[in-house]
Structure 1
Amino acid sequence: MKNSFYHSRLILVVLIIFNFNCASDKLTKKINETISLDDIETVPEWLNLNVDEVFLTDSLNIWVPTGNFQTSSLIRVPRFPRKFSEEELIENEALKDFEIVNLVKESVLELTAVKNEQVSAQIALGSKKDISKLKVSINGLKASNGEVINKENFQIRYVKYVPIQRARSEYDWSPKLEEIIGEGVSGNMTPDIVGDPLLELKFVDIPAYRAQPVWITFRVPENVNPGTYKGSITISSKQHADVVHKIKLHIQKEKLPDPKDYKFHLDLWLNPSAIAEYYNLEHWSEPHWSMISKYLKDYASRGGKNLATTITHEPWLKPWISNSTRSQIAFGYRSMVQWTLNEKGDWEFDYSVFDRYVDMATQLGIDEAINTFSMAPFKETKQRLHYFDKKDNAFKNLELDIHDVLYKDIWTKFLISFKKYLLSKNLTERTFLGFDEKTEEDMQVLLAIIKTAAPEFLDKIIIAGHPEGDEYAKNLSISYMFFPEQPLERKAVVPVLPTIEGRKSDNKRTTFYLCAEPAHPNALTYSPAIESQLIPWLALKYNTDGYLRWSYNNWTKDPFKNPVFRHNQGDDYYVYPGKDGPISSIRWELLKEGIEDYELFNIIKKAGNIPDKELLKAIELATRNQDGRFKKANDLAKSRNILSINRKGNQTLLSLKNKN
């Protein structure tokens, strides 16, 4: 009886385990089936014909974008690649970067980097038949002396394609998408698609007649010895035998600082409210704070310096339907300061959320300027103060113009309270009053109020806008539209380059910013990829301290399927929302690698081992032709190669045998 009972229990356990494993397999299968890498339901046959002409083998096609592993990350691989005519290639040599040349068995994939640097590369794959369970893996890389860079330092992600959509701003003021998109965009026009998010997956399925890029990031340890490290990359799938290619990573003796010590001044405006709304979390709840920390950490990983904070609700209102106004983004902004009107009619201010946000960012290394938005609304809209009325036990809105007497009275009280709070927290030196694209006339009104209520802030003003803000901004970010050869250069009241040089001598910070304009260079979802890495080189060219963008994470409700709310796609977010935190993008990775170029440039310049004329040549190569549709990837490779000349004048092993 005991044996019978034992066997019955054993059989039951086996059945439970079997059923659990089956359920687990089904769940895994379901998860992978639901992750579509392009969300296109039907493909016209003519698109397949385009791809058929460039997939030269009926088996697995494997190639390196641009033909050079070192520059392979600098283009977006079109989902539906095509053949180019001789006339097209003569008219635009940059199209050669998009030609497909399959790797041969003997191919060696080579990269050059310095210590503590991140460097990305791509391989691309496709077939005339469906490919399932495709997986790319890399083993550890080993030097001749036995030293190993473990595979934990490598990250493999798969590029997802998102639809391209037109934006309201294109009808209003920003460039049309046709002025921006290049060969990296492809599709059937309903809509076109472009690769941007980078997904971490165990494997992917690739439908027939589609290209799938694989994004590989190498993070070089800071304490590794210089030399050549060898390993291999393996490509496996259900339908094909494993393909193995050799990898060589050449590491130089220079070492980059950690991101928190970057000299490049990165100023992106992160919005905690978008995090709460997208993830359906209660504002300022513990789950919300936990998710905020993940995004702040990601921002810090790029060397983020400035922290954007909100001292009022909706600092960026814009005209909307039926003569109304609303936030210029899908989810809006909540204030980090609670405004309250008490029973006596006096204003009270609660800084507890502001305090925790600043403290969290500081702990993560975002410890320079705290920019507060905003004492004044965006452009010409009126300010809508959101507050709690204790007498009526209700939240209310008060709409004010900056010329109103009540506006001056209320903001005088706030500034007096705010400076007292900052002093108690030892934050006075770090905190700036932030203004975005305000007119000269409005700024004079605002400065008069500040001078009366809290003159300490007169030396703590940050302006994003026109170069004439130089007069009163300690920290000035100038629209790139006013820079040389840009559309508004001749309309600048104050010329940009002399302004930058004058501010340098006065020890004032100057950056430039991009938004939905100009068309080029930019970092929109469908901007040519190379332009994202170009941005920090522009800071070197024009001697600015860094770069600002108004938004880091202002998503739509579904940025993967409906990626546009109001502005050109991607203008308002660098990263995508994932289940457990940020999903990176091609733009976000290349911006970091451009910042690393900036850091290396300054290290080399300080060492004095390369003549200034050669350093200027590196800048010129990197920044010539800022329209990425016509820019060859080798321009940036050549710039880096100049920085790679060692003390004896010999060049490194960086290969420039690109077919371009």
Structure 2
Amino acid sequence: MNLNHNQLETRCVSSLVKIFAQDGELQEPVYPKGSALRGEVYAFQIAYRSAQMRKNINLSVTSQLQNSTITVRSVGLVPSEMPMYADHDERIFQATPGLFPDPLYPIAQGITALPNVWSSVWVTVQVDRAEQGGTFDIAIAFETAEGESLAQESFSLTVIPRELPEQKLIHTEWFHTDCIATQYNVPVFSEEHWRLLEAFIGTAVRHGINLLLTPLFTPPLDTAVGGERPTVQLVDVEKTGNQYKFGFEKLDRWADMCLAVGVRYFEFSHLYTQWGAKHAPKIMAHENGEYKRIFGWETEASGEEYRSFLGQLIPELLKWVEGRGLQKQVYFHISDEPSMSALEDYRQASDWLRPMLQGYPVIDALSDYEFYESGLVPRPIPATNHIEPFLEAGVPDLWTYYCCGQYKDVSNRFFTFPSARNRIIGVQMHKFGITGFLHWGFNFWYSQYSIKPINPYITTDAGHAFPSGDAFLVYPGEEGPIESIRMEVFYEALQDMRAFALLEELGGKDELQALIGNLTFSSYPAESEWLLNLRETVNKRIAEIIG
């Protein structure tokens, strides 16, 4: 901690701390040192406050690191009118409306210290893959615009001279192409839209998202029955009588862009409506010189017309996949979150569609074990609070997901959850050998059911629909994405998994399992210190083994 005559108080704290404006005396312990592997993104924070208002505080960073990149961002506050449901558990900050730390703003013209209010800056160290091993000091100086020193903090980072292994987890956060066009008020698939798409997808990839929702047709997700989302359709359709021709030029451009920024896998948007596969998604086509909707809520999923369409589309789409050499990199969806009441509709869609897909993987989020047991979904994605029967059955290559419904006991990343409750998912997924993780909200900036656009800096709960933090991980900045604490901490969870894999590779599997213990998806240590100490212990053992 640093307190000088200028009354700027500072303290190094870990990335798992959330600092609220209403905090009185900061209870979080000083966190002055840590360790990281080569290629890792390491983060810590510096909390600060002043007895008086101070504007335009400049920050300067000096470091002994030779090749690594250090950035400093300001942790902003955003409102939440609905932080949590009424029947929440006890491991939350608050259930009442308030301001929460979340967006990470680039610092352009200094930071402000509000009088007697704790704030923080987020320090990110991108450890270079060629960085030398050793322990290095990172100094962050706080100065007035005139160069007068206000405070200085120092953090000691030990670089372990072994590279973090490649991520094996398949990870998707559903990417809402239409929300970007709407938020920035640009035409869909205009050049400016493509530029923004690349910026947001690049940020997703840098945070471990390697599977991308690809809108063959406007995804039928969170759409009011009878309503529409803006058209984002990568496959061009020309209809002549009962025959269809398909154009894949935009899909080619999408694939080129995604592969260039590091996307590994593509999940094609759902071929039937959400919650049960009863209808067709919105599909636009050119017919007799007119561009119009040919399928939608009025279309029965099992009707002859839509089945004829899919029967002509799927072979052409698979030719495209094979022509691009993507046979092992694509996934299909039927319907998101089907309920037991929709079992028969889902069965009809699945039984009819899957033979045409020639063994390509079909994945769907669902939590009723009966769907899997009936053979309808060979690759189920159960929610974390419904995963136990799937684990007990030894389902191979098991995925998991969470969304707004997973708010008791299990991990999640709502504003009002401690960051440790976000990061613990990495330990859990590693322990149980989870193959993939899905979440529905990378950038959903509409109200529930996509009825109207929202300002995500003001409305963080999709219009009192979901606890704040569920619908999006990024905010729209002037030129592209503004990242969040929650996204950074979830990426730390993914990096934990990669470090665990390295320790196991080096012969420390039994030791790691002993360190992790008997935790489950709903029962686990709650303390930030446990997670931080676990990772430091794993790093220390890696360093000892490699000598």
| Common fold by TM > 0.5 | yes
> Following superposition of structure 1 onto structure 2, how do residues 211-360 of structure 1 map, counting pairs within 5 Å?
211-237=118-144, 241-257=149-165, 261-319=166-224, 324-326=225-227, 334-342=232-240, 344-360=241-257
CA gap of 1:120–1:625, structure 2 versus 1, over 3 A, is farther
* Counterpart among 370, 373, 389 of residue 269 in structure 2: 373
2:402 corresponds in structure 1 to: 514
1:541 corresponds in structure 2 to: 431
1:405 corresponds in structure 2 to: 304
- SS of corresponding position for 2:237: strand
What is the alpha-carbon distance in structure 1 between the residues aligned to residue 328 and residue 542 of structure 2? 41
Kindly provide the CA deviation profile for residues 281-331 of structure 1, in whole angstroms up to 9, marking residues without a partner as x: 111111111111111111111232212112232412544xxxx5336xxx6
Q: Partner amino acid for 2:27?
A: E
What is the alpha-carbon distance in structure 1 between the residues aligned to residue 17 and residue 153 of structure 2? 22
Counterpart check, 1:638 vs 2:533: yes
1:465 corresponds in structure 2 to: 366
Q: Partner amino acid for 1:515?
A: C
> Following superposition of structure 1 onto structure 2, how do residues 561-600 of structure 1 map, counting pairs within 5 Å?
561-565=458-462, 566-600=465-499
What is the alpha-carbon distance in structure 2 between the residues aligned to residue 273 and residue 80 of structure 1? 37
CA gap of 1:252–1:317, structure 2 versus 1, over 3 A, is closer
Matched-pair contact (CA < 8 Å) for 1:341–1:388: yes
2:451 corresponds in structure 1 to: none
Structure 2 unpaired stretches of 5+: 447-453
1:362 corresponds in structure 2 to: 259
Matched-pair contact (CA < 8 Å) for 1:515–1:549: yes
- SS of corresponding position for 1:639: helix
2:55 corresponds in structure 1 to: 132
Deviation at 1:582, TM superposition (A): 1.1
Q: Partner amino acid for 1:517?
A: G
CA gap of 1:247–1:649, structure 2 versus 1, over 3 A, is closer
* Counterpart among 20, 24, 27 of residue 99 in structure 1: 27
Q: Partner amino acid for 1:440?
A: L
What is the alpha-carbon distance in structure 2 between the residues aligned to residue 537 and residue 126 of structure 1? 34
What is the alpha-carbon distance in structure 1 between the residues aligned to residue 239 and residue 543 of structure 2? 70
Kindly provide the CA deviation profile for residues 259-287 of structure 1, in whole angstroms up to 9, marking residues without a partner as x: xx311221222122211111111111111
Deviation at 1:430, TM superposition (A): 2.9
What is the alpha-carbon distance in structure 1 between the residues aligned to residue 488 and residue 275 of structure 2? 32
* Counterpart among 15, 18, 34 of residue 76 in structure 1: 18
Deviation at 1:58, TM superposition (A): 9.3
CA gap of 1:193–1:400, structure 2 versus 1, over 3 A, is same
Counterpart check, 1:425 vs 2:324: yes
1:443 corresponds in structure 2 to: 346
Deviation at 1:406, TM superposition (A): 2.7
CA gap of 1:227–1:288, structure 2 versus 1, over 3 A, is same
- SS of corresponding position for 2:162: strand
Deviation at 1:551, TM superposition (A): 2.3
What is the alpha-carbon distance in structure 2 between the residues aligned to residue 560 and residue 451 of structure 1? 42
What is the alpha-carbon distance in structure 1 between the residues aligned to residue 519 and residue 538 of structure 2? 12
CA gap of 1:631–1:429, structure 2 versus 1, over 3 A, is closer
1:116 corresponds in structure 2 to: 39
CA gap of 1:313–1:210, structure 2 versus 1, over 3 A, is same
2:92 corresponds in structure 1 to: 182
Matched-pair contact (CA < 8 Å) for 1:135–1:203: yes
What is the alpha-carbon distance in structure 2 between the residues aligned to residue 56 and residue 365 of structure 1? 44
1:157 corresponds in structure 2 to: 73
Could you tell me the TM-score, scaled by structure 1's length? 0.72
CA gap of 1:625–1:77, structure 2 versus 1, over 3 A, is farther
- SS of corresponding position for 1:76: coil
Deviation at 1:372, TM superposition (A): 1.3
Identity among equivalent positions (%) equals: 19
What is the alpha-carbon distance in structure 2 between the residues aligned to residue 540 and residue 392 of structure 1? 54
Deviation at 1:639, TM superposition (A): 0.9
What is the alpha-carbon distance in structure 2 between the residues aligned to residue 391 and residue 273 of structure 1? 27
What is the alpha-carbon distance in structure 2 between the residues aligned to residue 138 and residue 536 of structure 1? 31
Deviation at 1:177, TM superposition (A): 8.6
Deviation at 1:624, TM superposition (A): 8.6
> Following superposition of structure 1 onto structure 2, how do residues 594-613 of structure 1 map, counting pairs within 5 Å?
594-608=493-507, 610=508, 612=510
What is the alpha-carbon distance in structure 1 between the residues aligned to residue 126 and residue 3 of structure 2? 34
What is the alpha-carbon distance in structure 2 between the residues aligned to residue 345 and residue 440 of structure 1? 30
Deviation at 1:251, TM superposition (A): 1.6
| Greater helix content | 1
Deviation at 1:516, TM superposition (A): 0.9
- SS of corresponding position for 1:149: coil
Q: Partner amino acid for 1:371?
A: E
Comparing 245-254 with 155-164, which one deviates more in the overlay? 245-254
CA gap of 1:527–1:647, structure 2 versus 1, over 3 A, is closer
Aligned pair count reads 523
CA gap of 1:297–1:626, structure 2 versus 1, over 3 A, is farther
Deviation at 1:63, TM superposition (A): 4.3
Comparing 458-467 with 587-596, which one deviates more in the overlay? 458-467
- SS of corresponding position for 1:531: helix
Matched-pair contact (CA < 8 Å) for 2:102–2:486: yes
CA gap of 1:624–1:554, structure 2 versus 1, over 3 A, is closer
CA gap of 1:244–1:272, structure 2 versus 1, over 3 A, is same
Q: Partner amino acid for 1:450?
A: L
CA gap of 1:352–1:290, structure 2 versus 1, over 3 A, is same
Kindly provide the CA deviation profile for residues 344-366 of structure 1, in whole angstroms up to 9, marking residues without a partner as x: 34223222222211221122221
2:117 corresponds in structure 1 to: 210
> Following superposition of structure 1 onto structure 2, how do residues 381-392 of structure 1 map, counting pairs within 5 Å?
382-391=279-288
What is the alpha-carbon distance in structure 1 between the residues aligned to residue 230 and residue 423 of structure 2? 29
What is the alpha-carbon distance in structure 2 between the residues aligned to residue 414 and residue 455 of structure 1? 11
Q: Partner amino acid for 2:439?
A: R
CA gap of 1:475–1:430, structure 2 versus 1, over 3 A, is farther
> Following superposition of structure 1 onto structure 2, how do residues 448-527 of structure 1 map, counting pairs within 5 Å?
448-450=351-353, 454-456=356-358, 458-466=359-367, 467-470=369-372, 471-473=375-377, 475-484=379-388, 495-499=389-393, 501-503=394-396, 509-519=397-407, 520-527=410-417
CA RMSD of aligned residues (A): 3.1
Kindly provide the CA deviation profile for residues 170-229 of structure 1, in whole angstroms up to 9, marking residues without a partner as x: 7xxxx449658733x69xx6x401000000113122321321111111121111221111
What is the alpha-carbon distance in structure 2 between the residues aligned to residue 384 and residue 224 of structure 1? 49
Q: Partner amino acid for 2:233?
A: S
- SS of corresponding position for 2:346: helix
- SS of corresponding position for 2:345: helix
Rg larger in 1 or in 2? 1
- SS of corresponding position for 2:56: strand
Matched-pair contact (CA < 8 Å) for 1:233–1:245: yes
Kindly provide the CA deviation profile for residues 133-175 of structure 1, in whole angstroms up to 9, marking residues without a partner as x: 223322022xxxxxx435x6111011000000238xx7xxxx4
Q: Partner amino acid for 1:200?
A: P
2:11 corresponds in structure 1 to: 64
What is the alpha-carbon distance in structure 1 between the residues aligned to residue 154 and residue 259 of structure 2? 43
Kindly provide the CA deviation profile for residues 458-516 of structure 1, in whole angstroms up to 9, marking residues without a partner as x: 442112212445435454322112034xxxxxxxxxx12134x341xxxxx32210111
What is the alpha-carbon distance in structure 2 between the residues aligned to residue 535 and residue 333 of structure 1? 35
What is the alpha-carbon distance in structure 1 between the residues aligned to residue 469 and residue 497 of structure 2? 24
- SS of corresponding position for 2:309: helix
Matched-pair contact (CA < 8 Å) for 2:383–2:406: no
- SS of corresponding position for 2:382: strand
